[in-house]
Structure 1
């Protein structure tokens, strides 16, 4: 099987941490082009790869079959549209786009062009999330009634970076919110209603840096939260049911290992250490350690390769990411209006 020639838009944190380690170690992919203003760094690290100073120029001129877009959020829509129009398959970093309307346009365009359009919701392959899915399949907690998912940090100072500057798709709700929303939808499906508090709490902050979003289901409450003032241990998941609850602290280790330079070459490279495992608490209140399932972001890329070469399924279809966008917009609107909003049935994607 010929490798999938792949072009990468951007050479920042997302590209170097979450994409390059996989497309450079998996034989199914061949890195053929990178667009970035960091010419020297790119050519030093990837001497055999074509470098372009402009993403649009690369998309139009390179012969790559697949384009991965890791540019700032406001560029997702125009770059993905151009790539699809050029007949290329596309992977977009999350969030999918900045508005539902943009997402609908891309979904329809990808279908028209008969090209794969996928969104990198990599947190579906976090070990703790895979553990949650297994516990639900097994019925370990009985009838589930409450789920809390948090992605807290201690970042009390505003930083000089695009995510913290005013603009389309900026702020923590569009940064971390897509992960938490996507995971909740994978676990429980579409909620009936949404309410949100999306605020700028830090001094000098001009974008959302805190959110607390509630998803309402029949006899199930889901709370999604992120705070920039969490200096202590992070409660990642709390799942409560009629037979007990599961609690998990700390974050999946894959991101930190990738930052540290770990190569994802073994199947267990993302295995969490035993001291970080979560626990199940039954009626007796005693903790029963639950070994965390081994995560692996490489499985996303393997499924992309299968979809492009063997007729396999897209691991994260753009239609699913569009549903995430609908919830993101509803929660933001709820925060602005100060009321609970109803989730309407989804309409088919349309071209604008």
Structure 2
């Protein structure tokens, strides 16, 4: 099914909507989860747990607000709990929700350690409940475009990838992500997105090397990272570079993917986050090209003649599908309704991302390349 239509296709909606509770109404809950949940047929945003009921009711006047997570867990009518709170609280809240018989979506990253993540996965299995992580960047326009380019074989064998998520934010904001707390810093903020995309495209690497830095004046935690994933025993020695910085005033390519027969380059970030921050909702923009990216990528291809690159290259526009964050929750709904065997982000995916985040911290602390256990 086309990713741009899956979330709004009423044929896949269920007769009795799944009742969803959202814990946390900070940026993640307010900007992403609440509008996306409410925009998917078959899901009902039943309640929001927040200590700021006025802020919730200003946006969602008909949604019930509860003061404590325990009120959510004790509600027999809630089917799914979405945890969108600071990273260090994910483990305790998700575990309590699972033990209360709820399916659980955790905002990325799953937890702050691999041990905590393994404990949640074991709890979910024991309780026969779903545990998954919100990975909306799988539904970015540029990522969907790159998937199509790779599937077409136009690049030949891919040998080098650069995936950048750079911004210019020179002033350190007063928020928990910028404080010296477990799970803070850019590696645990943007790293989960880039790591998950790399794993989705090329699988688990053989090794990785991570460099972290604090570059801004007053930075308490890393605000720059540069990771290299090594695929020595598969993909012909491919190197995947994941990079993010808060001090890039003039942005380079979001993606630069190089293969034996050509390259794919893409500038600009997906437009959906900015649209959501501006108060637009996908369901409100059904007729206004939600997720359309004004900057299509390019493919530069060299056709091979007798094993030698032709002196004439061909440059063409890459596919430019619309991004669609609604598709994440639509696929989750379909899984819980028995229409698909797995959620969009599986237990294997959850653990693989957390493993690389943890090994990355180890690599940065030790200043060396770290092998990834098989």
Q: What is the TM-score with the length of structure 2 in the denominator?
A: 0.89
Structure 2: gaps of 5 or more residues:
1-14, 303-311
CA apart distance, 1:44: 3.5
| Residues 1-352 of structure 1: pairs in structure 2 closer than 5 A | 1-61=15-75, 63-218=77-232, 219-265=237-283, 266=286, 268-273=289-294, 276-283=295-302, 284=312, 287-312=315-340, 313-345=342-374
Contact kept? 1:33, 1:62, Cα under 8 Å: no
- Mapped partners of 1:71, 1:153: distance in 2: 23
Q: What value does the CA root-mean-square deviation take over the aligned residues? A: 1.4
Give the Cα–Cα distance (whole angstroms) in 2 for the partners of residues 338 and 22 of structure 1: 40
Assess if the C-alpha contact under 8 Å between 1:34 and 1:49 holds in 2.
yes
| Structure 1 CA distance for aligned equivalents of residues 290 and 186 of structure 2 | 28
- Kept in 2, the 8 Å contact 1:56–1:79? The answer is no
Q: Give per-residue Cα distances to partners, 1:26-73, cap 9 Å, x unaligned.
A: 221111111111111223333332212222333234631110110010
Report the CA distance between 1:242 and its aligned residue.
Answer: 0.6
Superposed displacement of residue 285, structure 1: 5.1
Give SS of 1:76's match. Answer: helix
| 1:350 alignment partner in structure 2 | none
With over 3 angstroms needed to count, the CA separation of the structure-2 counterparts of 1:82 and 1:300, relative to structure 1, is same
Structure-1-length-normalised TM-score: 0.94
Distance change in 2, residues 1:234/1:63 (3 Å): farther
- Measured after TM superposition, the shift of residue 286 of structure 1 is 5.3
Question: Which moved further from structure 2: 96-105 or 20-29?
Answer: 20-29
Worse-matched range after superposition: 52-61 or 33-42? 52-61
Contact preservation (8 Å) 2:72, 2:78: no
Helix, strand or coil at the partner of 1:195: strand
Quote the Cα distance in structure 1 between the aligned partners of 2:366 and 2:193.
Answer: 24
Between the aligned partners of 2:332 and 2:73, the Cα distance in structure 1 is 19
Deviation, structure 1 residue 278: 0.9
The separation in 2 between residues aligned to 1:319 and 1:15, in whole angstroms, is 25
